[in-house]
Amino acid sequence: MKRIIGAIVAGVVVFSGIYALAATLNLGTPPTLGAATQAVAACTSDTLTVSYPTPAYSASVPGYTISGVTVTDSAATPNLATACGGHGYSVTVSTSSGTALATATGTVAASGSSFTATFSSPVDASQVADVAVTIS
């Protein structure tokens, strides 16, 4: 009896976790990416957020692709430009197993509260599971 109850409890826990994960994905037309990531830069203590553009359909994939990401200082008083302007950045998107799909590098602008990192070629959006942002 204990084994049956244990199996039921384990099944409910696993199903709840999968359901919660699936609830963060928007599979509308076109689908949008639903991963959440916290970016932290040494030059600012503000919270930086990463957002993806609307995926574009590519017949060659076939499927939806993204061309880059936008990193935004979401603080009430953003200081990304004053604190990090002129610093180099690197943005890498990767698969769930940690395989890098694309990396974009550049310099944080001296004005504004965000920057867009553009990849050299579009990335299959269905493969993107993680993003790493480094501001040096």
Locate the domains of the chain by residue range. 30-135
pLDDT band, residue 41 (cuts 50/70/90): low
Phi then psi for residue 135, to 5 deg, are -115, 115
CB atoms within 10 A of CB 30: 13
Percent of the chain with pLDDT strictly greater than 70? 70
pLDDT band, residue 17 (cuts 50/70/90): very low
Q: Do the Cβ atoms of 131 and 37 come closer than 8 Å? A: yes
How far is the CA of 106 from the CAs of 16, 80, 83, 91, 124, in angstroms?
41, 15, 16, 9, 22
12: left (phi over 0), alpha (psi -120 to 50) or beta: alpha
Which of residues 88 and 36 earns the better pLDDT score?
88
Residue 40 has what pLDDT? 54
Which of residues 74 and 99 earns the better pLDDT score?
99
What pTM, to 2 d.p., does this model score? 0.69
* Mean per-residue pLDDT, 16-43: 46
Q: Is the pLDDT of residue 99 over 90?
A: yes
Residue 45 has what pLDDT? 83
Q: Is the pLDDT of residue 82 over 70?
A: yes
